[in-house]
Amino acid sequence: MTESVAGEIVVHQLDGRALPQRRKRGSAEPIDARLLRTIAAALPSDFPPVSQLGVETALEAMAEATKAAIAADLDCFVSWCIEQQRALFPADPEDLVLYLRHLEAQDKKPATLSRRMASIASAHRLVGLGAKDGLPTDHPMVRNALRANRRRKGAVQRQAAPLRYGGPLDEQGEITGFTITALLGACSGDAQGLRDAALLSLGYDAGLRVSELTAAAVEHLEPQADGSGLLAIPRSKIDQEGQGSWAWLSPETMRRVQAWLVQSGIEAGPLFRRVGIDRRRARAAVPPQAYHAIPGNTRHWQGRLRGTPAVQATVTYTIGETPLTRQGVCAIYRRVALAAADAGLVDTSGAKL
């Protein structure tokens, strides 16, 4: 281990070895178990038996993100049903219209209302409802309520602006918005900054979604002789059957990825992980005190006799074992964007961060 002094900060780094690995914490509840628990709690006591095989095959056909969205939407609907003393299974079309009006009063977007109805429909199919008499979400009353909401609110959603590479864009030849160049310039040179730079650069080159970034692994990388690389994408949102695809990575991106791997000591498994930072404040030296000058009720008075040396501030990094979460990746993008704005690398006049 070496120590590099920057001002009064001592940064501990490891030469050629992995940074400390964070131990695994208790795993979260599996999404299948969470979804089934929510549905089971909402079923009436006299509900007929549900086919276990049918539920298993339905869950196997769903993407993890889809099941997570259904579980979150059902939690909201169950809370509303309990508050209003309404039945969830089977849902009444009039209750669904009232629920839609409740969501509209909360200023939810039309896309959110449509997704909530789709989640409720999926939950009904899981327990075997809707095959004969149709789904309550398909009732003309519910569909009319959704159309009325779109007429009042408008169905056009604001899309995020694309991330540009960099370069003159306005008439004066100045960059006025966020670019990948500005974001990379805001990344520091420590373990966290190297990870952020590799994540941003790889995501930009390959055009990855957040879910694909979190799924990237060291085994998916294939360096090429010219310094570039290939990234295997086993599964994506538009490739639910896992046929896989490949993305090209520039030599600059491969250098950033290599710098992160060397710094973190990661040799296999998830490519992008949490970086824990432990900062210790500096403490001034305490000179030795004479025995007669120490109050009689002082605890640990022996230490005062000897005094304590000065302690410099330290920063220690630990690397997690599990991949970043979706929330973690979004937080990284936001933090780096704010750092780019604070450093004056972009013009944010009139922008909302």
Nearest CA-CA partner of 214 in 327, 71, 66: 327
The CA distance from 328 to 272, in Å, is 10
Nearest CA-CA partner of 282 in 76, 25, 84, 8: 8
Domain map (residue ranges) of the chain:
43-153
How much is the pLDDT for 238?
A: 55
How much is the pLDDT for 244?
A: 65
How much is the pLDDT for 6?
A: 37
pTM across the whole model: 0.55
How much is the pLDDT for 350?
A: 52
For helices 52-60 and 31-42, angle between their N-to-C axes, nearest 10 degrees: 140
How much is the pLDDT for 303?
A: 67
* Region for residue 113 given its phi and psi (left: phi exceeds 0; alpha: psi -120 to 50; beta: otherwise): alpha
Please give the structure tokens belonging to residue 78.
């169950």
The alpha carbon dihedral of 133, 135, 136, 138 has a sign of negative
How much is the pLDDT for 196?
A: 93
| Residues 6 or more apart whose Cβ sits within 8 Å of residue 267 | 218, 261
**CATH assignment of 43-153?**
1.10.150.130
Q: How is residue 169 annotated by DSSP?
A: -
In this structure, the dihedral spanned by the alpha carbons of residues 59, 326, 99 and 63, taken in order and rounded to 10 degrees, is -20
User: 3-class SS at 152?
Assistant: helix
Cβ pair 135, 125 in contact under 8 A: yes
Q: Quick one: which H or E segment has residue 78?
A: helix 64-84
The CA distance from 328 to 322, in Å, is 12
What are the pLDDT tens digits along the chain (353 aa)? 444 433 333 334 444 445 555 545 545 678 888 888 888 878 888 888 888 888 888 888 887 778 888 888 888 998 898 888 888 888 899 999 999 999 999 888 888 889 999 989 988 888 888 777 788 889 999 999 999 988 887 655 554 554 555 544 444 445 456 788 888 888 988 889 999 999 999 999 888 888 889 989 999 999 999 889 999 988 756 555 556 688 899 999 999 999 999 988 999 999 999 988 887 787 787 777 776 677 766 666 666 677 777 778 777 888 888 999 989 999 999 999 888 888 887 766 555 55
User: 3-class SS at 43?
Assistant: coil
User: 3-class SS at 172?
Assistant: coil
Kindly give the pairing relationship between strand 9-13 and strand 2-6. antiparallel
User: 3-class SS at 45?
Assistant: coil
